[in-house]
């Protein structure tokens, strides 16, 4: 069994809202998988179904080889979860919450706990009601990351963290993965985070999967931006299928080009002579924006 | 102060149902007292007889304060003694709700970023509470003057009623500055209210015996107001004391709000422990942490309730011997034991309903925990749904049961000592209190059923409790159909002590509670979480 998460054609509706509409998600054991989508796309709903908190209306969902609804408590022994909106019991201290969640999961690695508290710069004595959103998130992260779970499910775990803490988070996730070969399902809005951490990713929109694959796979689908200073004027560049948004001004050209058309386009430039050239590889940001533009799915 | 006006409008909008509920209904109670006391004691001689017994009864003086004179107005003002405390309670809750509660939820920060001055939120909440008490005072005056009571006395009584609310609105304003937690702020203010009540009670009861502690009354705002005697000597000094107290406490609160950071309390937040103790290791340990404050508070409250209810026993017995008309009301069979039993059956019925309020509050913790997202965090661990719910259910079943037993035992002990019959009263009242438990459980498990089946509507359990309250208080007088009366589980509890009891109703109610709990938990196992 090589898939930690195996979701096919998942459907879920809340009254008239169709939250999930045939969603697919496949996470292999040992990988860090990014789960991207705009607000309301259905990320949290998918995760709650995987945790057996909600029941799907259709499709199949398997988690660590088991049925998430009927084997919920057994499966939960093997995972740690950080909810999207972390709220803590206001009268408990951060340290108490971490220990409590750890014990409810079946144990916590004390050494790791103390080390993480230090790295996240968190005072475990403060009452939860005094914590900011970022600090609440740190509490949940320390509790999850200090557990010996084989699967980490993190729902937008860094949305309240400052950049410094975000980089601590990245380091820790990488370590966890390297040390224990943990599987991580990371739902996120923060693209640089996904780029930095994930081996593969799945992009969803309006309850459906729109893209899935490795970063390299997805870049394949995207355009590179070329900016060049030329000696002559290129011919027929605008006519090439796969070249977009061409701006020519004297000897300077700027355009976007599909990866498939990159070679013929560059040939045209070389033909007239190139003085300087910069190319910007597509960022996940652009990929994301293109997937999110309000055109209907498919 | 910039922004105060718009904040007042916001509060009035948010509280458009809640505020009239107490500001209008509470002042109708003394008006009701006036008409029923007039019907009960139509002649001056009868009133004088009633007043004579009451004025010397430690129990009555403890609960309601001292009685001066025997005119209808005197009796109404005296009977309304406890209502002052309620006006204070509602006022302080209103102020805290619109200050610290908002602040804790981060709403103040949102507003603070807008064009409002620093103390505007506090001032707006205070002004609303003060205004509500003005409405209350006007209704009291209008109602009593309308019934033909003396104008000057009625105006003074209305003013003193309203000032009780004012004083505790200011107490609420101060306590909201002290702690960063709304729950703690409420506890501080309510303990303050309780303490002023106890001081007044001790001072007044002591004064009956000409004791040396009667000055205690004069350190208590509740005591000041109860010594106005609006229809008799009309002392004005206590009113000025209450007014000065309100102004001083209000200004102190405004000074504090201007000096502290948003979200912080004046009292430093106590740091917690850096690691969890051994008890906090599972769903039951967590439930204990979440329920223990409530449990201790309710146990203490029931002990006091038992003390107050039991303390009146002697005067009920004396009263029954002296006033035949009242003994008829209290114990239709006549004779002082029957009257005392009848009184206790009613008192324990009240205790049962109050315990049901605790039971509903504790059971709805399930709903609260789901709404805040805490349930999700626990249910994503190896804790199963039923185990998680059972932790809270346990406290909602056994907490109120323990509170009833404490209340019954204390009540029996105090009454037994006063009547020289501990051997009879303790088991009788303990039994009478225990008899309420199955009915309480029905309400607790009704809340669990709602939580399972209609999670968003679970707070409707409070509505069911209100119906039971209404049927107990108003059902007999309004002569409602027995079908309607039977809706309340409390209708089926025999009136103990005194009445004959068979096991059947207890068995049926307990079985009903088991069915409701099982149905609620089964539905909860099958539904989405969170569904709120
Ligand atoms: N308990 C619920 N009741 C009704 N609608 C819900 C509920 N939970 C989520 N939704 C709706 O389902 C959709 C997907 O939500 P969610 O899974 O939270 O998205 P995401 O986590 O990607 O932001 C949204 O339209 C949201 O409003
Ligand atoms: Mg979400």
pLDDT tens readout for residues A145-178: 999 899 999 999 988 899 899 999 999 999 988 8
B407 and B262 inside one domain: no
Indicate if A16 and A30 belong to the same structural domain: yes
- What is the CA(B458)–ligand 2 centre distance, in A? 25
A 10 A CB-CB count for B126 gives 28
A192 has pLDDT over 80:
no
User: What is the reported pLDDT for B306?
Assistant: 87
Q: How far apart are CA A159 and CA A82, in angstroms?
A: 12
Q: Is B429 found in the same domain as B301?
A: yes
Q: B328 lies in which domain range?
A: 281-532
Q: Do B271 and A126 touch (CB under 8 A)?
A: yes
Q: Which residues of A touch B384 (CB under 8 A)?
A: 72-73
Nearest chain B CA: its distance from A198 CA (Å): 24
Q: How many CB atoms lie within 10 A of CB A175?
A: 13
Average pLDDT, chain B: 88
Give the pLDDT confidence score for residue B522 in this predicted structure: 98
Whether residue B530 has a cis bond before it, omega within 30° of 0: yes
| One domain for residues A189 and A248 | no
Tell me how far apart the alpha carbons of residues B256 and B243 are, in angstroms, rounded to a whole number: 20
Which residue owns the Cα nearest ligand 1 atom 27?
A40
Q: How far is the CA of A12 from the centre of ligand 1 (A)?
A: 10
Query: How high is the pLDDT of residue B269?
Result: 72
Are B262 and B315 in a shared domain? no
Best substitution site from A44, A55, A210, A288 to test ligand 1's pocket, by max atoms within 8 Å of Cβ?
Answer: A44
Q: Which parts of chain B have pLDDT scores under 70? A: 58-59, 109, 112-115, 209-211, 312, 315-316, 319-336, 473-479
Residues B448 and B507 placed together within one structural domain of the fold = yes
Residues B377 and B449 in one domain: yes
Determine, yes or no, domain membership for B275: no
pLDDT grade for A38, boundaries at 50, 70 and 90: confident
Residue A161 within a domain: yes
Same domain, B317 and B257: no
**Model pTM?**
0.79
Q: Which of B281, B384, B528 sits opposite A54 (nearest CB)?
A: B528
Whether A132 and A17 share a structural domain: yes
HSE (side-chain half, CA atoms, 13 Å) at B399: 30
In a domain, B66, yes or no: yes
Looking at the structure, do residues A151 and A227 belong to the same domain, yes or no? no
Are A91 and A8 contained in the same domain? Answer: yes
Last residue of a domain, one of A185, A218, A251: A218
Q: Which of B217, B245, B267 is the last residue of a domain?
A: B267
Q: Are residues B203 and B349 in the same domain?
A: no
Element (H, E) at B458: none
Per-residue confidence (pLDDT) for residue A248, from 0 to 100 = 86
**Which pLDDT score is estimated for B142?**
96
- The alpha helices in chain A, defined as continuous H runs, are 43-50, 72-76, 94-105, 110-119, 133-145, 163-180, 191-197, 215-220, 262-272, 284-292
Whether A287 is in a domain gets the answer: no
Instruction: Kindly determine whether residue B274 and residue A124, on different chains, have CB atoms separated by under 8 Å.
Output: yes
Q: Looking at the domain assignment, is residue B512 inside a domain? A: yes
Vertex B102 angle, CA B98 and B108, to 5°: 105
CA B367-B370-B372 angle, to 5 degrees, is: 110
Domain total in chain A:
2
Q: Which pLDDT does position B485 carry in this prediction? A: 86
Nearest CA to ligand 1 atom 12: A19
Query: Which of the four pLDDT bands, split at 50, 70 and 90, describes residue A179?
Result: confident
Give domain status of residue A298, yes or no.
Answer: no
Domain assignment present for B370: yes
Residues B208 and B310 in one domain: no
CATH number of A272's domain: 3.30.70.260
Q: What CATH code is carried by the domain that includes residue A85?
A: 3.40.50.300
Q: Classify residue A289: in a domain, yes or no.
A: no
Is there a cis peptide before residue B127, judged by omega within 30 degrees of 0? Answer: no
Q: Is residue B364 part of a domain?
A: yes
For residue A180, is it within any domain?
A: yes
Kindly list the residues from chain A whose CB atom is less than 8 angstroms away from the CB atom of residue B268.
Answer: none
Total domains, chain B: 2
Q: Does the pLDDT at position A28 exceed 60? A: yes
Two structure tokens written together for A23 = 């969603």
Report the pLDDT value the prediction gives residue A282, as an integer from 0 to 100.
67
C-alpha span between B225 and B149 (Å, rounded): 20
Residue A31: is its pLDDT beyond 90? yes
My answer on whether A152 and A252 are in the same domain is no
Query: Does residue B241 sit within a domain?
Result: yes
**Judgement on whether residues B307 and B245 belong to the same structural domain of the protein:** no
Output the six-digit token pair for B147.
């019934």
Backbone phi, psi, residue A6, to 5°: -135, 100
Task: Indicate whether A85 and A233 sit together in one domain.
Answer: no
**Which residues of chain A does B289 touch, with a Cβ-Cβ cutoff of 8 Å?**
89, 91-92
A159 and A107 inside one domain: yes
Range of the domain at A265: 223-281
Whether residue B89 lies inside any domain: the answer is yes
* A185 and A236 co-located in one domain: no
Report the percentage of chain A scoring pLDDT > 90: 57
According to DSSP, the β-strands at A208-214 and A200-205 are antiparallel
Residue A294 inside a domain? The answer is: no
Residue A132 lies in a domain: yes
- SS3 sequence of A66-88: ECCCCCHHHHHCCEEEECCCCCC
Residues A202 and A257 in one domain: no
Q: B320 with B218, same domain? A: no
Q: Are residues A32 and A18 in the same domain?
A: yes
For residue B296, give every residue at least 6 positions away whose Cβ sits within 8 Å of its Cβ, in sequence order, or none: none
Is B274 a domain residue? no
Give yes or no: residues A255 and A162 share one domain.
no
Q: Are residues B161 and B292 in the same domain?
A: no
B287 and B252, same structural domain? no
Residue A257 banded pLDDT, cuts 50, 70, 90: confident
Pocket of ligand 1 (CB under 6 A): A 14, 17, 19, 37, 39-45; B 531
Task: Please choose, from the candidates B179, B218, B195, B206, the residue with its C-alpha nearest in 3D space to the C-alpha of residue B88.
Answer: B195
Instruction: Check residue B115 and give its pLDDT.
Output: 63
pLDDT given for residue B331 in this prediction:
45
DSSP of B255-323:
HHHHHSPTT--SSPPPP--SS--TT-SSHHHHHHHHHHHHHHHHHHHHHHHHHHHHHTHHHHHHHHHH-
Which DSSP string do the residues of B257-276 spell out, in sequence order?
Answer: HHHSPTT--SSPPPP--SS-
């Amino acid at each position: 069994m090589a898939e930690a998460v195996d979701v096919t054609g998942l459907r879920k509706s809340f009254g008239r809202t169709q939250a999930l509409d045939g969603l697919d998600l496949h996470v292999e054991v040992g990988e860090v998988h990014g789960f991207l989508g705009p607000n309301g796309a259905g990320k949290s709903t998918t995760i709650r179904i995987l945790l057996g908190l909600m029941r799907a209306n259709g499709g199949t969902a398997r988690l660590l080889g088991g049925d998430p609804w009927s084997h919920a408590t057994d499966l939960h022994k093997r995972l740690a979860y950080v909810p999207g909106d972390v709220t803590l019991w206001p009268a408990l201290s951060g340290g108490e919450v971490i220990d409590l969640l750890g014990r409810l999961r079946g144990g916590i690695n004390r050494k790791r706990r103390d080390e993480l508290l230090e790295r996240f710069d968190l005072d475990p004595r403060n009452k939860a009601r005094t914590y900011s959103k970022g600090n609440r998130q740190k509490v949940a992260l320390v509790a999850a990351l200090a557990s010996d779970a084989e699967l980490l499910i993190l729902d937008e775990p860094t949305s309240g963290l400052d950049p410094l803490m975000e980089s601590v988070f990245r380091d820790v996730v990488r370590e966890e993965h390297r040390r224990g070969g943990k599987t991580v399902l990371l739902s996120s809005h923060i693209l640089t985070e996904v780029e930095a951490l994930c081996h593969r990713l799945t992009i969803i929109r309006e309850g459906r999967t729109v893209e899935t694959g490795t970063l390299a796979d997805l870049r394949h689908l995207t355009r590179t931006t070329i900016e060049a200073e030329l000696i002559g004027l290129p011919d027929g560049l605008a006519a090439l299928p796969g070249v977009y948004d061409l701006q020519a001004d004297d000897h300077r050209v700027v355009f976007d080009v599909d990866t498939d058309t990159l070679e013929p386009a560059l040939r045209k430039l070389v033909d007239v002579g190139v003085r300087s050239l910069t190319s910007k590889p597509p960022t996940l940001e652009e990929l994301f924006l293109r997937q999110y533009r309000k055109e209907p799915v498919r | 102060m910039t922004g105060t006006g718009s904040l007042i409008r916001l509060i009035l909008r948010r509280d458009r149902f809640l505020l009239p509920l107490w500001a209008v209904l509470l002042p109708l109670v003394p008006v009701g007292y006036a008409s029923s006391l007039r019907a009960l004691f139509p002649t001056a001689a009868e009133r004088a007889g009633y007043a004579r017994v009451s004025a010397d009864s430690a129990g009555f003086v403890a609960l309601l304060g001292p009685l001066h004179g025997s005119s209808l107005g005197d009796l109404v003002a005296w009977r309304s003694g406890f209502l002052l405390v309620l006006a204070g309670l509602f006022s302080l809750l209103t102020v805290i709700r619109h200050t610290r509660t908002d602040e804790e939820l981060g709403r103040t920060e949102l507003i603070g970023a807008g064009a409002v001055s620093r103390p505007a939120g506090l001032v707006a909440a205070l002004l609303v509470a003060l205004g509500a008490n003005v409405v209350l005072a006007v209704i009291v005056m209008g109602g009593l003057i309308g019934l033909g009571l003396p104008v000057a006395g009625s105006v003074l009584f209305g003013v003193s009623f309203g000032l009780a609310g004012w004083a505790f609105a200011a107490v609420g304003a101060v306590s909201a500055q002290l702690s960063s937690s709304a729950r703690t702020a409420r506890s501080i203010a309510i303990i303050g209210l309780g303490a002023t009540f106890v001081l007044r009670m001790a001072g007044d009861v002591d004064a009956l015996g000409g004791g040396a502690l009667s000055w205690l009354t004069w350190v208590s705002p509740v005591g000041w107001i109860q010594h106005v005697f609006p229809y008799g000597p009309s002392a004005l000094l206590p009113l000025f004391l209450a007014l000065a107290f309100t102004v001083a406490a209000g200004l102190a609160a405004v000074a504090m709000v201007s000096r502290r950071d948003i979200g912080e309390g004046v009292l430093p937040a106590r740091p917690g422990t850096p690691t969890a103790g051994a008890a906090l290791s599972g769903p039951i340990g967590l439930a204990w942490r979440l329920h223990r404050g409530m449990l201790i508070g309710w146990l203490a409250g029931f002990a006091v309730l038992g003390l107050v209810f039991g303390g009146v026993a002697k005067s009920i017995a004396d009263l029954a011997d002296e006033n035949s008309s009242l003994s008829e009301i209290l114990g239709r069979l006549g004779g002082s034991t029957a009257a005392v039993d009848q009184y206790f059956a009613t008192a324990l019925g009240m205790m049962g309903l109050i315990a049901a309020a605790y039971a509903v509050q504790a059971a709805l913790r399930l709903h609260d925990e789901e709404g805040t997202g805490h349930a999700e965090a626990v249910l994503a661990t190896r804790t199963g749904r039923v185990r998680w719910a059972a932790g809270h259910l346990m406290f909602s079943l056994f907490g109120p049961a323990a509170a009833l037993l404490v209340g019954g035992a204390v009540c029996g002990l105090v009454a037994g000592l006063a009547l020289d019959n501990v051997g009879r009263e303790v088991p009788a009242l303990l039994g009478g209190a225990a008899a309420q438990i199955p009915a309480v459980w029905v309400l607790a498990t009704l809340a669990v059923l709602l939580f399972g089946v209609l999670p968003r509507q679970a707070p409707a359990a409070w509505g069911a409790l209100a119906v039971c309250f209404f049927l107990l208080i108003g059902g007999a007088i309004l002569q409602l159909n027995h079908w309607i009366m039977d809706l309340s589980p409390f209708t089926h509890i025999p009136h103990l002590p005194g009445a004959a009891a068979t096991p059947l109703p207890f068995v049926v109610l307990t079985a009903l509670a088991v069915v409701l709990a099982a149905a609620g938990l089964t539905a909860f196992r099958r539904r989405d979480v969170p569904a709120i």
